[in-house]
Structure 1
């Protein structure tokens, strides 16, 4: 089941909305092409947080 997440781009500080699709269960992170900075970010599939982002 697809779900929408919102993350803050670490380069621009902008909030970015992205849809996470169904991925294979062996992958814990997915790469997301960021429309705010055009770079790739790694997103944790379970939490929707950026790799390295502190939980809070």
Structure 2
């Protein structure tokens, strides 16, 4: 089952919605192409948070 996450783009400060797939993987992070700034961000698969995001 896929799940929707919302993260704040660190470059623009805009909230970005993305769909994470729950397919089995040994990777703990996934790269996401950000539509707000067109760059790649790393997302933790388990929490749906940006890598390095201090807000919890």
TM-score, normalization by structure 1 = 0.91
Distance 1:30 1:37 in 2: 17
Q: List runs of 5+ in structure 1 lacking aligned partners.
A: none
TM-score, normalization by structure 2 = 0.91
Length, aligned pairs only: 56
Structure 1 counterpart of 2:9 = 9
Alignment of 1:29-48 (within 5 A): 29-48=29-48
- Cα deviation digits, residues 21-55 of structure 1 (max 9, x gap): 12433110000000000000000011110011114
